[in-house]
Chains A and B, each alone.
Chain A
Amino acid sequence: MAGAGRPDPDLPEADAAPTLSVRGLSTEFRAGGRVRRVVDDVSFDVKRREILAFVGESGSGKSVTFLSVLRLIADPPGRIVDGSVLFDGEDLMTLDPKGARMRSIRGGGIGFVFQEPMTSLNPVLTIGRQIMESLRLHLDMGRREARARAAGLLSAVGIGDAERRLGAYPHEFSGGMRQRIMIAIAVACSPRLIIADEPTTALDVTTQAQILELLAGTVRDLGASLVLITHNLGIVARYADRINVMYAGRIVESGATDDVFADPRHPYTRALLDCVPRLGETRKLAPIAGQPPDAGTAFAHCPFLPRCARALPVCRTAPPPRLADVAPNHSAACHAAELPE
């Protein structure tokens, strides 16, 4: 069962145009008279049928990046100041965030699963209503058809006695089951892209594993792409094809999971891999000194400099490094990364 969701390399999709293409995305927040750039010049592609992981700690900007993609940033206090987001060829930044087209993409073309199953589901509506709402809104289905499809979706995500459970309310389900319902809603309209932001952090370990298997399997069956936002490197190792590591609002390393884990080129990635406990190993952890910067802190030089064990003299004077290739399909934003080891 390991490896569910890795694309079949024989499929021609690998070379097709990416499902999502983000260039130069920057988002700022205004608070207490100060402006904080929480996402700074972020560019990446989500290829067809791939599982792309975004890894980062608090303040890294990984969640805000995708809230920006979905145009869910409240303005004020937030504002997307720059960038283009091409989804199947259409630039979402040119759309009215509250308009009909953006709303039809959200939930229709792009599905999302958030962390808190408690608050993402409306407690006063039955889950059947919530699933059907999505179906009828985006696919213009009639009630009977929507109901049948909703029951089918619930079964597909592993909730037994689906027809009857359509009339149940969110509080009647456990956390794991609510997350399954969230997945059902997310995939209801066969989206081409699913964004899952820490979908299992609030769940027990065994439930976590079930939900991730379900999510990866569903995405593969749909032929869709999945963006998995997480801080858990284990989940990344198990499911993701490619990984983007974010720090201080920027992407600092990007590449295939195998490549990045085997040969991390950014000191943060390397340090992160060294400080995570691994089952079966009892070597002492090598923590990273200091703490992650608050979201939106401005940096004149490399943001990781205060915590970096490999800082070079150039790092203290040059502006923050940009993402550059260090190997085929593997890039890192580090002055030292380009040098040979």
Chain B
Amino acid sequence: MSQPKLQVEGLSVRFPVRSGPFQRRVGEVRAVENVSLEIASGGVFGIVGESGSGKTTLGRAVLGLVDTHAGRISFEGRPLVGPGRARRTADHRRMSLVFQDPFGSLNPRMTARQLIAEPARIAGTVRTRAEARDLVAAKLDLVGLRADMADRHPHEFSGGQRQRIGIARALAGAADFIVLDEPVSALDVSIQAQIVNLLSDLQQTLGLTFLFIAHDIAVVCQFAERIAVMYLGHVVELTDRRRLVENPLHPYTQSLLSAVPIPDPVRERARQLALVKGDIAASSADLSGCVFHPRCPLANERCRVEKPALMDTSDNRAVACHAVEEGRVEMPARESV
């Protein structure tokens, strides 16, 4: 078993909630609670969740952008330090980030050339203008943009093209581990497919490792091999994409899959939907027991008081659910999706 590219152990991230004229701490938001996972080298690991799931915070924590409350993050076996350190280490430079918003993620006053060259300049791998020009031309070609577009500003590009620039920028340094935070959600449907294919091709030809974070489970299942489902800061199910879609165990995963409509009217009519009730809670800090229990149709007394741990099941997956452990979950029919 080779070294995982990235390993997260018991990670918790909490944000204080401050109020009043003296900004006193009145509570906290538990964005990520006790999350552990391993990302294999050269693969695509997906994280699916809705708002409040903590998936974005997890991505930022992995990159060393937020303070962690507890837990450890290791890159290729070496521990990563948090943002307290002023200087980012060489390991940090092996990681980069592609953002959701193609409008806001590029400095409007810089040209595509400057944007793509910047990570390399900072890392010192590019020193002269000639080197920068070569690098920029190579990266633009890699993402399917013409070299003569290098001197345009972000607003002169379309959303999909801006995202390509963002990807080129992420690849300009020494990074071989890329965190993709909702990289296609803000794009038109027909452009999403282009970008997903581009990412897939790049990942395979360059041997990159991706952490793909999204709320669109269909896109995640399309792209990622191993997927973690998060809810209110916790990982509730962790398995490969086939099992996730064909045989979801956690009640939240089941309702999430039910909620996603499939563009096929015949299949839709045949589906048995298991829609969840209620709204996502604002914070998990006040909840005891399983964070999903207020909305879970299978919640019992134990669920209300005892938090389920992420446990391995027989078929190479992990689920955090008492009902599954107790055998109370009905396996959905083969065509549950």
A/B contact in complex, CB under 8 angstroms? yes
B255 at the interface (CB under 8 A from A): yes
Q: Could you say which of A176, A239, A257, A285 contacts B193, with CB atoms under 8 Å apart? A: A285
- In the assembled complex, the CB of B149 is this many whole angstroms from the nearest CB of chain A, namely 14
A277–B196 touching, CB < 8 Å: yes
The residues of A that contact B265 with a CB separation of less than 8 Å are 237-238, 257-258, 261
Interface segment among A41-49, A61-69, A199-207, A326-334: the answer is: A199-207
B190–A279 touching, CB < 8 Å: no
Q: Could you say which of A177, A273, A278, A289 contacts B218, with CB atoms under 8 Å apart? A: A278
Given A277-B221, A279-B221, A282-B221, CB of A204 within 8 Å of CB of B264: no
Interface segment among B71-79, B116-124, B271-279: the answer is: B271-279
The residues of B that contact A284 with a CB separation of less than 8 Å are 197, 200
A72 at the interface (CB under 8 A from B): no
Interface size on B, residues (CB 8 A): 49
Q: When chains A and B are docked, how far (Å) is the Cα of A2 from the Cα of B260?
A: 12
A279–B275 touching, CB < 8 Å: no
Given A57-B188, A58-B188, A210-B275, CB of A287 within 8 Å of CB of B269: no
Q: Could you say which of B160, B190, B222, B266 contacts A282, with CB atoms under 8 Å apart? A: B222
The residues of A that contact B298 with a CB separation of less than 8 Å are none
B259–A1 touching, CB < 8 Å: no
Q: When chains A and B are docked, how far (Å) is the Cα of A3 from the Cα of B273?
A: 11
A261–B261 touching, CB < 8 Å: no
Could you give, for residues 151-182 of chain A, a 1 whenever the CB lies within 8 Å of some chain B CB and a 0 otherwise?
00000000000000000000000101100000
Q: Could you say which of A236, A257, A285, A291 contacts B158, with CB atoms under 8 Å apart? A: A291
B320 at the interface (CB under 8 A from A): no
A279–B188 touching, CB < 8 Å: no
Q: Which A residue's beta carbon lies closest to that of B52?
A: A204
- In the assembled complex, the CB of B215 is this many whole angstroms from the nearest CB of chain A, namely 6
Interface residues in A77-96 (C-beta closer than 8 Å to B): none
B189–A280 touching, CB < 8 Å: no
Q: When chains A and B are docked, how far (Å) is the Cα of A279 from the Cα of B220?
A: 9
Q: Could you say which of A232, A257, A280, A292 contacts B246, with CB atoms under 8 Å apart? A: A280
- In the assembled complex, the CB of A130 is this many whole angstroms from the nearest CB of chain B, namely 20
A272 at the interface (CB under 8 A from B): yes
Could you give, for residues 252-265 of chain B, a 1 whenever the CB lies within 8 Å of some chain A CB and a 0 otherwise?
00011111111111
B217 at the interface (CB under 8 A from A): yes
A236–B263 touching, CB < 8 Å: yes
Q: Which B residue's beta carbon lies closest to that of A175?
A: B51
B280 at the interface (CB under 8 A from A): yes
A276–B188 touching, CB < 8 Å: no
A275–B189 touching, CB < 8 Å: yes
B194 at the interface (CB under 8 A from A): yes
Q: Which B residue's beta carbon lies closest to that of A261?
A: B265
Given A2-B271, A277-B222, A291-B188, CB of A237 within 8 Å of CB of B259: no
A17 at the interface (CB under 8 A from B): no
Could you give, for residues 18-31 of chain A, a 1 whenever the CB lies within 8 Å of some chain B CB and a 0 otherwise?
00000000000000
B160–A232 touching, CB < 8 Å: no
Q: When chains A and B are docked, how far (Å) is the Cα of A285 from the Cα of B160?
A: 16
The residues of A that contact B194 with a CB separation of less than 8 Å are 287-289
Q: When chains A and B are docked, how far (Å) is the Cα of A231 from the Cα of B185?
A: 12
A271 at the interface (CB under 8 A from B): yes
Given A205-B260, A261-B264, A275-B189, CB of A174 within 8 Å of CB of B279: yes
B262–A278 touching, CB < 8 Å: yes
A209 at the interface (CB under 8 A from B): yes
B268 at the interface (CB under 8 A from A): yes
A233 at the interface (CB under 8 A from B): yes
B234 at the interface (CB under 8 A from A): no
- In the assembled complex, the CB of B299 is this many whole angstroms from the nearest CB of chain A, namely 16
The residues of B that contact A58 with a CB separation of less than 8 Å are 188
B245–A279 touching, CB < 8 Å: yes
Given A2-B269, A177-B279, A232-B261, CB of A275 within 8 Å of CB of B190: yes
B249 at the interface (CB under 8 A from A): no
Q: When chains A and B are docked, how far (Å) is the Cα of A213 from the Cα of B274?
A: 12
Could you give, for residues 232-248 of chain A, a 1 whenever the CB lies within 8 Å of some chain B CB and a 0 otherwise?
11111111000000000
A258–B266 touching, CB < 8 Å: yes
Q: Which A residue's beta carbon lies closest to that of B219?
A: A277
Q: Which A residue's beta carbon lies closest to that of B198?
A: A287
Q: Could you say which of B218, B276, B280 contacts A277, with CB atoms under 8 Å apart? A: B218
- In the assembled complex, the CB of B132 is this many whole angstroms from the nearest CB of chain A, namely 28
B50 at the interface (CB under 8 A from A): yes
Known contacts A174-B279, A206-B50, A234-B260; 8 additional CB pairs below 8 A are A207-B279, A234-B268, A272-B189, A275-B192, A277-B221, A278-B218, A280-B221, A288-B194
24 A-B contact pairs sorted by A residue (CB < 8 Å): A2-B269, A2-B270, A2-B273, A174-B282, A206-B50, A206-B280, A209-B275, A210-B277, A234-B268, A235-B261, A237-B268, A239-B261, A257-B265, A275-B192, A275-B193, A277-B193, A277-B196, A277-B222, A279-B218, A279-B245, A280-B246, A285-B193, A292-B188, A292-B190
Tell me the B residues contacting A by CB distance below 8 Å. 50-51, 158, 160, 188-194, 196-197, 200, 215-219, 221-222, 241, 245-246, 255-271, 273, 275-277, 279-280, 282, 337
Tell me the A residues contacting B by CB distance below 8 Å. 1-3, 57-58, 174, 176-177, 204-210, 213, 231-239, 257-258, 261-262, 271-273, 275-280, 282, 284-289, 291-292
Top 10 A-B pairs, shortest CB-CB distance: A234-B261, A233-B263, A287-B193, A209-B259, A275-B193, A204-B50, A277-B222, A287-B194, A57-B188, A285-B193
